[in-house]
């Protein structure tokens, strides 16, 4: 397998959910970059488990330790490596999962791919726990982009069928994006957020789970970033977003809805304001021909319901090679969407920084 991603910024993630530690190596950072460690900790706290009744009860501080590539508060230019110790594993909850395949999980496919040698505890290397190192790398990328005036923010667009307002319906500004980043359950309309949280608690009580959609915007991107075809902004972003466990879809701008429009409706007409070229609409989400147009880059990520639920489900016993039933034990999120928000932002920052280094 390959745990490596990137072209100019290369990431290599390692570890398992119930191993001693998880971590990441970041290659390609320029020397002399000052890192705001407190800002990194803030991003890590946004993703960390055990901080809300809406999330898993597993408590991990996500405290990171930088092992290399960082000296006297600045990057050295050599690979930056950081680890995060695991401290609250309940591996005994996963004893039966060596033979009983959890529906919706990678237990079966992982067992086949790695010939039964995969670490199945807590999902092993397939676990959402492995996104913590990704958030660490993304926090650094966000700081580099912020120094260039580029801001990334997200909100929970929907949980099951409950909808929040869309970014395209409001006046996008940096103050709103920053405000959302401080909220544990970021939504534009508070009433929608309250209804979403009530639903999550209800399905938790019912031993079930729900999914939803995260909408992300990247503001102040210059035009001209990206390339056509194989290295388009869409393909580059999608490749890392789909690396986030539970991601099942991504759409840019109007996304699938643009297929129902006429060309006269879908085309974003140009105009000049204060000597800056803009478009009257943003149906294409700030990307044309795989290259940024200078308009806000907007995309949405579909997150499936958490696969681990306590209801009894049908499965197979791969050792006995027979049908079986399974009630999953352990501590799991009834909805992974709120904790996916900072992960998606982190992945976005990494992808955009990687693309921007093409034109330095």
Q: Does 126 count as an annotated binding residue? A: yes
Residues 212 and 160: beta-carbon distance below 8 Å: yes
Distance separating alpha carbons of residues 77 and 111, to the nearest angstrom: 38
Q: At what angle do helices 337-356 and 131-146 cross, to 10 degrees?
A: 50
Q: Does 307 count as an annotated binding residue? A: yes
C-alpha 56: how far from chain center: 17
Q: Does 304 count as an annotated binding residue? A: yes
**DSSP β-bridge partners for residue 216:** 154, 299
Q: If you search the block for the tokens 């580059």, which residue do you land on?
A: 236
Q: Does 125 count as an annotated binding residue? A: yes
Buried b (16+ CB within 10 A) or exposed e, 164-180: beebbeeebeeebbeeb
Q: Does 331 count as an annotated binding residue? A: yes
Close Cβ partners of 273 (under 8 Å, ≥ 6 residues apart)? none
Task: Report DSSP letters for 241-281, one per residue.
Answer: HTTSTTEEEEEETTGGGGGGS-HHHHS--EEEETTEEEES-
For residue 353, give the H/E element and its range.
helix 337-356
Q: Does 306 count as an annotated binding residue? A: yes
Residue among 338, 266, 327 nearest 303 (CA) = 338
SS3 102: coil
Residue among 235, 211, 224 nearest 299 (CA) = 235
Residues 253 and 283: beta-carbon distance below 8 Å: yes
Query: CA-CA distances (angstroms) from residue 55 to 80, 85, 140, 197?
Result: 30, 20, 25, 11
Dihedral of alpha carbons 50, 43, 85, 117, sign: positive
Q: Please enumerate, by residue number, every residue annotated as part of a binding site for NADP(+).
A: 47
Q: Please enumerate, by residue number, every residue annotated as part of a binding site.
A: 47, 125-127, 289, 304-308, 331
Q: Please enumerate, by residue number, every residue annotated as part of a binding site for FMN.
A: 125-127, 289, 304-308, 331
């Amino acid at each position: 397998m390959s745990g490596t991603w990137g072209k100019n910024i290369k990431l290599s993630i390692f570890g398992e959910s119930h191993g001693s530690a998880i971590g990441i190596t970041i290659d390609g950072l320029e020397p002399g970059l000052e890192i705001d460690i407190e800002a990194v900790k803030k991003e890590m706290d946004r993703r960390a488990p055990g901080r809300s009744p809406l999330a898993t009860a597993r408590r991990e501080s996500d405290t990171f330790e930088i092992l290399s590539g960082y000296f006297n508060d600045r990057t050295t230019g050599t690979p930056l490596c950081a680890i995060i110790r695991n401290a609250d594993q309940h591996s005994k909850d996963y004893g039966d999962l060596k033979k009983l395949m959890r529906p919706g999980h990678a237990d079966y496919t992982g067992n086949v791919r790695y010939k039964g040698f995969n670490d199945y505890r807590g999902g092993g290397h397939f676990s959402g726990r492995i996104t913590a190192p990704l958030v660490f790398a993304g926090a650094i990328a966000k700081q580099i982009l912020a120094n260039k005036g580029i801001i990334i923010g997200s909100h929970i667009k929907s949980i099951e069928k409950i909808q929040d307002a869309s970014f395209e319906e409001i006046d996008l500004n940096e103050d709103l994006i920053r405000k959302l980043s401080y909220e544990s359950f970021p939504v534009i309309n508070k009433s929608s957020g309250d209804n979403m949280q009530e639903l999550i608690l209800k399905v938790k009580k019912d031993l079930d789970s729900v999914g939803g959609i995260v909408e992300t915007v990247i503001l102040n991107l210059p035009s001209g970033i990206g390339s056509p075809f194989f290295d388009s902004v869409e393909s580059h972003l999608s490749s890392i977003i789909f690396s986030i466990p539970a991601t099942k879809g991504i759409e840019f701008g109007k996304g699938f809805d643009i297929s129902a429009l006429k060309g006269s409706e879908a085309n974003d007409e140009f105009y000049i304001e204060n000597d800056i070229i803009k478009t009257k609409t943003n149906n294409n989400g700030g990307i044309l021909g795989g290259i940024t147009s200078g308009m806000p880059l907007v995309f949405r990520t579909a997150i499936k319901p958490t696969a681990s639920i306590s209801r009894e489900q049908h499965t197979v016993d791969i050792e006995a090679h027979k049908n079986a039933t399974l009630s999953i034990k352990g501590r799991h999120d009834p909805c992974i969407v709120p904790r996916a928000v900072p992960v998606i932002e982190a992945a976005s920052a990494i992808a955009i920084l990687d693309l921007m280094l093409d034109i330095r």
